[in-house]
Amino acid sequence: MKILILNGPNLNLLGEREPSIYGSTSFETYLEQLRKRFKEVEISFQQSNHEGVLIDYLHKADKEVDAIVLNAAAHTHTSIALADAVNAIKKPVIEVHISNVYAREAYRKHSYIAPVAKGVIAGFGLQSYFLAIQSILDDNK
Ligand code: DQA
128 labeled binding residue: no
Catalytic residue among 30, 97, 112, 129: 97
71 labeled binding residue: yes
118 lines ligand 1 (CB under 6 A): no
| Domain enclosing residue 89, as ranges | 2-139
Q: Which pLDDT score, from 0 to 100, does residue 53 have?
A: 98
How many structural domains are present in the chain? 1
62 labeled binding residue: no
Q: Active site includes 97?
A: yes
Q: Give the amino acid at 49.
A: N
Q: Active site includes 50?
A: no
Per-residue pLDDT of the chain (141 residues; tens, 9 = 90+): 999 999 999 999 999 989 999 989 999 999 999 999 999 999 999 999 999 999 999 999 999 999 999 999 999 999 999 999 999 999 999 999 999 999 999 999 999 999 999 999 999 999 999 999 999 999 987
For every residue of the chain, DSSP letters joined together read: -EEEEEE-TTGGGTTTS-HHHH-S--HHHHHHHHHHHTTTSEEEEEE-S-HHHHHHHHHHHHHH-SEEEEE-GGGGGT-HHHHHHHHHSSS-EEEEESS-GGGS-GGGS--SSGGGSSEEEESSTTHHHHHHHHHHHHHT-
Q: Which pLDDT score, from 0 to 100, does residue 3 have?
A: 98
Q: Which pLDDT score, from 0 to 100, does residue 141 have?
A: 79
CA 131 to ligand 1 centroid distance, Å: 17
Which CATH number characterizes residue 118's domain? 3.40.50.9100
Predicted ipTM beyond 0.90: yes
Q: Which pLDDT score, from 0 to 100, does residue 140 have?
A: 84
120 lines ligand 1 (CB under 6 A): no
